[in-house]
Each structure stands twice: as C-alpha cells, then as structure tokens.
Amino acid sequence: MTLQQLKKIVAFYGRFTLSFTQIGFVFRRLFWSRAATNFHGQHWVVTGASGGLGREMAMAALRGGATVTAVARSKEKLQQLVADATAVGLAAPQIEQCDVALVADTQLLLERLVASNQKIDVLVNNVGVLNDDLIITQEGKESSFVTNLLSHYQLTEGLLARNVIPRGGLVINVTSGGGYNVPLMTAPLNVVDLKKYNGVAAYGFHKRAQMVLTNFWREKYGPMGVDFYVMHPGWADTAGVQRSLPRFRKILAPILRDAHSGADTAIWLAATRPSQSPGENVWFDRKARSAHAYPHTRISNETAQSLVAYLDSHLQGVAR
Ligand SMILES: NC(=O)c1ccc[n+]([C@@H]2O[C@H](COP(=O)([O-])OP(=O)(O)OC[C@H]3O[C@@H](n4cnc5c(N)ncnc54)[C@H](OP(=O)(O)O)[C@@H]3O)[C@@H](O)[C@H]2O)c1
C-alpha cells in the first residue's frame, strides 16, 4: 500500500466512523420524534429481503400492515422469513426466488410481478453485494455489477414501463458510503478482467451510479407522481459485511449498527415521504445529505444520460 492510499483510508475512517456506526445513530435518534409507520393497503417489493437490512425492511413493512413480496435466491432463507413473520403474528410475505445477478432471472421476476396484477406501492432496491473475488455470470457479466446496479435499473424501468408502480408510488434505492470515494464513471462498472478487478472499487462505482440514477429517475418520473429516494444505511453488522469485509468487521464489530438501525432511514422515508430539494442528495439517518464528500467526485466526463445509455447497452434484446 502506498503512503497516499494509507492517507486516504485514514481520512475516510477518521471522517465517517463515529457517524456511520451505531454511535452516530444513537446520538441522532435523541433528536427524532416518533414517526407513525402505517403501511396498510400498500404492496411492497423488497429485494435482498431474506437477510440483513432487506429482511429488517420487509419485517418493518409487515409490522406496518403492508403486503410484502420478498425477493432473494435461497428458498430456505425466504421460507425462514415467512416462518419468523407468522410466528410473531404478522402476515406471511409472498416470496419470489430470483438470482438478480442474472438478467434473464430478473426478467422472469419482472414478468411474474406484472402477471400477479398487484400494483407495487413501494419498491426497495436493496440487494447489493461486495464481491472480493471476480465472479463472471453465465451471461458474461461481472456479478456484482448486475446485482448492485443493472438489476435495479432493469426492474425499476420495467415496472414503471408496465404501469405497475402507480402514481403515488415510491422507489427507495439503497446505496453505500463507499460511493462517496469515486466519481461517476461507466468503464469501471463491469470489470471482467481479473487483472483489473478490485471488488471494493467496483462496489464504490456501482453505489455512485445508484445515486446518479436516482436523481435521473426523480427528474424523469417525478412528474408522473412517483417518488424516488436514495439512502445509505451507515455500517451495519450483516452477513454481507461479515463475508466481504472481515477485517473491517473484526475491528469495528462492537460499534457497528444493528440491522434495525441500518434499515431505519428507508422505513422512515416510506412512512414520511419528505420533500427533497432538486439535484442529487443521499438520505442518511433521516436527513438529506450531500451526494459528495470530496470535491474530486464532482468532476466527471459522464452524465446520467451516459450512465443510462450504458445500462441500456447491457439490456439489449431484453423486453422493455
Ligand atoms: N451492511 C452494511 O453495513 C451496508 C453498508 C452500506 C450499504 N449497504 C447496502 O445495503 C444493502 C443490504 O446490505 P446487507 O449488508 O443487508 O446485505 P446482506 O447481509 O449480504 O444481505 C443480502 C440479501 O440479499 C440477497 N441476495 C444476495 N445476492 C443476491 C442475488 N444475486 N439475487 C437475489 N438476492 C440476493 C440475500 O439472500 P440470498 O443469499 O438467499 O440470495 C440476502 O437476502 C446492500 O445494497 C448493501 O450494499 C450495507
């Protein structure tokens, strides 16, 4: 590691550790008033809903009275979610098995959601992974790129195009503070060359792109009465963090957030639907914050339009 890289890491952790951990959550919570979470009559679709933050969001939506469709790969984990929900007297979530790392599988999910004839009031694009090792899918794409970004785009655009998300609907995108480190760039989104692949960097670029995409959607679909928010959860102790960032987790475990604290802002956004100023921002701990922590990430040769064109190029031949 070079001295410059070390300096960057020290600056990042020095700046964000108190804020992103449970310490920041507990402190800020002192100033919050109680928000009523009444989701009766709403249908939610939550991706990555069988574990970590997505599971917490799905359970919170069920507690608020929503009908929930939970999406993940493992049938066993989804069935466990159903068992856990019904064991505490909640309605059973509908479950949808889908590997969103595959465009074809996400397309089948989209078609099933459309065919079910249920409007979706709240779509939570929560699924996201940081893959330390390069995984190329059977479709030839880098797996975390499709999981973290392309599937969100495919699902959201597909549901909107088919009028499944009605006027008054809501889309919440779950990003990460990792996106703060990099500007918008499309070239590093889908790195399939082992020599060039860096999982942490790829994750950061996906998360930056999510921020840009959310603002693009706000401008495109806001006039149609659909709200879009992008939030980040801080640092929460989930299976994903344990798997992808074991050293980070080992050092910070005592002060990492629990899943409830990590999911809080998403639930609060759905409950309160706060107004947003125009332009990019990221919600964190119930407040809209700047999408940029460093001046260099504001500088990019790319735009939301070039990002969307890039994503579209990866969905060529897929019914839209
Ligand atoms: N935890 C944090 O500190 C943190 C910080 C910043 C941002 N985030 C973001 O928050 C979101 C949730 O993170 P998390 O930590 O809760 O993740 P997690 O613990 O890894 O949970 C992953 C969930 O996603 C599902 N999943 C994973 N790959 C999938 C795939 N290809 N297709 C369908 N479902 C898949 C998993 O179920 P199956 O394995 O059964 O598919 C599980 O339900 C992500 O977007 C992440 O980037 C988390």
Q: Is 53 in the pocket of ligand 1 (CB under 6 A)?
A: yes
pLDDT digits (tens, 9 = 90+) for 111-122: 999 999 999 999
Confirm if 103 and 150 have CB atoms less than 8 A apart: yes
Mean pLDDT for the stretch of residues 18-39: 96
Confidence of residue 11 (pLDDT cuts 50, 70, 90): confident
pLDDT at 310 over 80: yes
Q: Is 0.95 topped by the overall pTM?
A: yes
Give pLDDT, residue 157.
98
Ligand 1, atom 18, residue with closest C-alpha:
240
In angstroms, what is the span from residue 127 Cα to ligand 1's centroid? Answer: 5
Q: Is 253 in the pocket of ligand 1 (CB under 6 A)?
A: no
Give pLDDT, residue 7.
85
Give pLDDT, residue 57.
98
Give pLDDT, residue 1.
75
pLDDT at 315 over 90: yes
Mean pLDDT for the stretch of residues 20-48: 96
**Domain ranges within the chain, ordered by starting residue:** 40-313
Q: Is 72 in the pocket of ligand 1 (CB under 6 A)?
A: yes
| DSSP H or E run through 172 | strand 170-174
Q: Domain 40-313 classified CATH 3.40.50.620?
A: no
Q: Cα–Cα distance between 278 and 280 in angstroms, integer?
A: 7
Give pLDDT, residue 3.
85
3-class DSSP state of 287: strand
Q: Which amino acid is at 36?
A: A
| DSSP H or E run through 4 | helix 3-20
pLDDT at 35 over 90: no
Confirm if 151 and 189 have CB atoms less than 8 A apart: no
Residue 237 corresponds to which tokens in the numbers above? 């102790």
pLDDT digits (tens, 9 = 90+) for 150-178: 999 999 999 999 999 999 999 999 999 99
State the DSSP code for 257. B
pLDDT at 262 over 80: yes
Residue with more model confidence, 188 or 12: 188
Nearest in space to 52 (alpha carbons), one of 258, 294, 301, 295 = 258
In Å, the largest CA–CA distance within the chain is: 57
CA distances from 212 to 3, 172, 216, 280, 295 (A): 31, 13, 6, 7, 16
Confidence of residue 79 (pLDDT cuts 50, 70, 90): very high
Q: Helix (H) and strand (E) counts for the chain? A: 12, 8
Q: Is 100 in the pocket of ligand 1 (CB under 6 A)?
A: yes
pLDDT at 81 over 90: yes
Q: Cα–Cα distance between 134 and 130 in angstroms, integer?
A: 10
Q: Cα–Cα distance between 79 and 75 in angstroms, integer?
A: 6
pLDDT at 319 over 80: no
In angstroms, what is the span from residue 312 Cα to ligand 1's centroid? Answer: 24
Q: Is 241 in the pocket of ligand 1 (CB under 6 A)?
A: yes
